[in-house]
A and B are shown apart, each in its own frame.
Chain A
Amino acid sequence: MTKSELVEIIADSYGEITKREAEVVVNEIFRAISDALAKGDRVELRGFGSFATKRRNPRIGRNPKTGESVQVPGKVVPHFKPGKELRERVDQNE
Chain B
Amino acid sequence: MTKAEIAKIVHDRIGLSKKESGQIVEAVLDEIKKTLEGGEDVKLSGFGHFMVREKHARRGRNPKTGDDITIASRKVVTFRASQLLKEKLLGEDD
Which residues in A have some Cβ–Cβ distance to B below 8 Å?
Answer: 1-3, 6, 9-10, 13-14, 16-17, 21-22, 24-26, 28-30, 32-34, 36-39, 41-49, 51, 53, 75-80, 82, 85-87, 89-91, 93
Contact = CB atoms under 8 A, between A and B. Distances in A.
Contact of B32 (A6, A14, A46, A53): A6
Contacts, number: 138
A78 B37 CA distance: 23
A82 to B, nearest CB: 4
Nearest to A9: B31
A82 B32 contact: no
Given A44-B1, A75-B93, 5 more contacts: A2-B44, A28-B13, A36-B1, A42-B1, A48-B33
Interface string B41-63: 11111111010100000000000
Contacts of B71: none
Contacts of B43: 1-3
A89 to B, nearest CB: 5
Given A6-B44, A10-B31, A25-B10, A37 B85 contact: yes
A30 B9 contact: no
Contact of A29 (B23, B25, B86): B25
